[in-house]
Amino acid sequence: MSRSHSCRAVVMFSCFAAFLSAAPFALAQLERPEAPSQLSVLTSKAQAGDADAEYRLANAYSKGAEVPVDLPEADRWWTRAAEQGNASAENELGFSYAHARGVGQDSAQAFHWLHAAAEQGLPAAEYNLARLYEDGSGVTKDFTLAADWYRKAASQGFAPAANNLGMLYQHGLGVPRDDSQAIQLFQQAAEKGEASAQHNLGQAYFAGRGVPRDSAKALEWFRKAATQGLVNADYAICYMYGEGIGVRKDFHDAAVWCQKAAAGGYGPAQTALGQMYLEGRGVQQDQKQAVHWLGLAAEHGEALAQNALGWVYLTGIAVRSDFRESAAWFGRAADRGYAVAQNNLGNLLEHGRGVPVDYPEAYKWYQLAANAGFTPAKQAMNLLGQIMTPKQLQEGQSRAAAWQQKTKDIELNPSSLAAIASN
């Protein structure tokens, strides 16, 4: 019995989801660069053991202020100041160990110095220490302690801490789930100009979570965050124009915002932009550009882009048709839990396109896609089951169960809810 059913490409804009924005690690407020006339005096004081001068000299080496940038030298002076209990230096040194800035990455040292600075009440260090507890970096992951330290920093007006504490309340991590409390914290941080909080507040108004649904307010907050260069806010605006939510549908404006986000390396926007070039929506149709952007997104782990590339190689759009390459991309997306790709991979396995015919494996992927609610996969699974032997059927079902067991604790979404913006 021979059957066929189409492999599906990504649907434009379907990758928009409520991914919240976490603020990045924080540095202490650095002073103005030292004037040449002051630098020699500062160096003399630092060499004499003045902790404040040691800290300020480290800042000069860190920023290249009247001296060449020299991160190891900056860390040497921060260490000297930190060993004398200078809280800002302790925070900077902890940051260096956490991010391998001028020194080797050392989570234990990062925790030691950030904890020392946080105990002195430095808001940036309290926030950074909370990040370590939230991420489980150099310390056992503990959302309750993360919330405690975020709260201390937020109580001193540190906006990034208020934002991240709001995220914990929104997801009930370390604190009771409380959307209204999350909104208050997002609002507090957003009004102080924290871009991540502005984006998160936009998400809340977009979804009607903790506040009445209000597309106009969502767009307003997304724009404020986008003005500060937050790429997921650029993409949120792209999505709203593409779908006509709160604004007149305009694919050209959608493309403009998607291009900004895509150029900033945001995978979902790269996926959407690739699809726009593929279909000629908002941009002049350009299959090479489509493959370029889909390829970037796919390498970033975006399942929808991986599935779309599988479709591109299957159909031979802008590339030579290659069933083996198609199967490989469908496979990567399927492994990330994307039901459409699981269905597509099952189709290739059933018919031996790019891969050997393997009914149990095809049944496995159909069943996984069907379990995720993808109706065409359920139909394909039932039809394939009619021509399989009982042994093959049992094997396919067993493989599907094993895959689900193996991946039940794995985050299968292309992006993490707590995606960390780079410094």
Tell me the average pLDDT across 44-63.
Answer: 94
Q: How far is CA 226 from CA 167, 222, 282, in A?
A: 19, 6, 20
Counting Cα atoms < 13 Å in the Cβ hemisphere of 8 gives: 16
Distance CA 352, CA 398 (A): 21
Task: Flag whether 166 is in a domain.
Answer: no
Distance CA 231, CA 394 (A): 47
Domain range enclosing 330: 322-418
Residue 212 CB coordination number (10 Å): 7
In the chain, the number of structural domains is 1
Sequential DSSP letters for 329-392 = HHHHHHHTT-HHHHHHHHHHHHHTSSS---HHHHHHHHHHHHHTT-HHHHHHHHHHHTTS-HHH
Task: Flag whether 359 is in a domain.
Answer: yes
Predicted confidence at residue 12, as pLDDT, reads 38
Task: Flag whether 310 is in a domain.
Answer: no
Q: Which of 17-26, 54-63, 414-423 has the highest mean pLDDT?
A: 54-63
Task: Flag whether 123 is in a domain.
Answer: no
Predicted confidence at residue 317, as pLDDT, reads 85
**pLDDT for 281 beyond 50:** yes
Q: Residue 40: pLDDT band by 50, 70, 90 thresholds?
A: confident
Q: Which of 17-21, 384-388, 410-414 has the highest mean pLDDT?
A: 384-388
Amino acid code (one letter) for 362? A
Task: Flag whether 249 is in a domain.
Answer: no
Tell me the average pLDDT across 86-111.
Answer: 95
**What phi and psi values does residue 250 have, to the nearest 5 degrees?**
-150, 100
**pLDDT for 36 beyond 60:** no
Average pLDDT, the chain: 89
Q: How far is CA 25 from CA 13, 94, 107, 226, in A?
A: 30, 11, 14, 20
Task: Flag whether 173 is in a domain.
Answer: no
Distance CA 39, CA 63 (A): 14
pTM over 0.75: yes
- By mean pLDDT, which of 2-6, 102-106, 156-160, 227-231 is the weakest? 2-6
Predicted confidence at residue 5, as pLDDT, reads 38
Q: Residue 10: pLDDT band by 50, 70, 90 thresholds?
A: very low
Residue 237: name the closest of 27, 13, 87 by CA.
13
Structure tokens belonging to residue 276: 């726009």
Task: Flag whether 225 is in a domain.
Answer: no
**pLDDT for 408 beyond 90:** no
Distance CA 369, CA 375 (A): 8
Predicted confidence at residue 37, as pLDDT, reads 56
The 10s digit of each residue's pLDDT in 305-364 is: 999 999 999 999 889 999 999 999 999 999 999 999 999 999 999 999 999 999 999 999
Task: Flag whether 40 is in a domain.
Answer: no
- By mean pLDDT, which of 36-45, 342-351, 382-391 is the weakest? 36-45
**pLDDT for 18 beyond 50:** no
Sequential DSSP letters for 20-79 = --B----PPPPPPPPPHHHHHHHHHHHHTT-HHHHHHHHHHHHHTSSS---HHHHHHHHH
Q: Residue 11: pLDDT band by 50, 70, 90 thresholds?
A: very low
**pLDDT for 22 beyond 80:** no
The 10s digit of each residue's pLDDT in 155-170 is: 999 999 999 999 999 9
Predicted confidence at residue 171, as pLDDT, reads 96
Instruction: Give, for 318, the enclosing helix (H) or strand (E).
Output: none
Structure tokens belonging to residue 352: 């031996």
**pLDDT for 421 beyond 50:** no
**pLDDT for 8 beyond 80:** no
Q: Residue 26: pLDDT band by 50, 70, 90 thresholds?
A: low
The 10s digit of each residue's pLDDT in 217-246 is: 999 999 999 999 999 999 999 999 999 999
